[in-house]
Amino acid sequence: MGDTVRGKSVLVTGGTGSFGRKFVEIALKARPKRLVVYSRDEYKQHQMQRQFDHPAMRYFIGDVRDADRLRRAMHGIDVVVHAAALKQVPAIEYNPFEAVKTNIVGAENVINAAIDCRVPKVVALSSDKAVNPINMYGATKLCADKMFVAGNSYAGAERTVFGVVRYGNVIGSRGSVVEVFKRLRENGTVPVTDERMTRFWITLEQGVRFVMAAIRDMRGGEIFVPKIPSMRILDLVKAVAPGRKIRIIGIRPGEKLHEVLLTEDDASHTVEQPDRYVILPEFFSARRPKGRKVPPQFRYSSDKNTSWLTVKELVRIVGD
């Protein structure tokens, strides 16, 4: 994956978040020319400066809502990884206008700035919540996904190409269910919304390496979906809070019983590769990658997955 960023200038929006920190950690090993962290929190940037003392690092304070600042930050950039988003579902349900400004208007600003600055490659991070969304977060991410795919048409004769990476829950990310369960287990009781619930699961490092692979392979307009395991919520509780009492509280507003990464509607324009699915754009021509077409009516959902994490595997992954 080193050639993806080696000798290049790379910018990460939302670079002080969980993904951004892991991306910086891995990308620095590949010796980029510049690695720009773009975020709005100066204290978190200060913390990162202390952690990553490297001559390639640059820190830009800015918000993706600020189009002018984005254009300034993207001058001379070769690769943009768009990881900035508001993503806490309950907070977004209560503050939907703010989610639109960051997740949708911010996406538009990133697209326009990248085209104006002739950035060669832009990849945006999506979520399983964007598939058949039932909450505001998912709706804004679905909108952003479609904007980044359409960005390839907006680029016209310019050289900028856009792609999307879509995956499930991230182990170790800030505010993840693992973090919540670890905190609540001290009370002796762990609340679970529904004992039947399943989720896709990926580690931060796997997510970063998958994004790098997408940057390497993208031709424009693809949505890359990794083949990742599922886990049962009760197995996660057994791994994180063994012996604790479980209290069923019912599904919260905007929450699904199972998650989906690829729907039957995507199947007609999706190809399967050994470690991933690639959803191709429908409304403009793109170079078809190698792989076989998925069967008609194919659906990739967390409850029908062929790969499952066991309690023992979850214990090894999440630690104490």
The catalytic residue positions are: 129
Largest CA distance in the chain: 61
CA torsion sign for 275, 207, 306, 164 is negative
> What are phi and psi for residue 20, nearest 5 degrees?
-60, -45
How far is it, in rounded angstroms, from Cα 269 to Cα 288?
10
Question: Token pair of 159, please?
Answer: 């050289």
Bridge-based pairing of strands 270-273 and 276-279 is antiparallel
Q: Which of 52, 129, 55 is nearest to 85 (CA)?
A: 129
Q: What CA–CA distance (Å, rounded) separates 31 from 54?
A: 10
Bridge partners (DSSP) listed for residue 199: 231
Q: How far is CA 234 from the centre of its chain?
A: 24
Report strand pairing: 198-203 vs 230-232.
antiparallel
* Spatial distance between the Cα atoms of 279 and 277, rounded to a whole number of angstroms: 7
Q: Which amino acid is at 112?
A: N
Give the tokens for residue 95: 């503050």
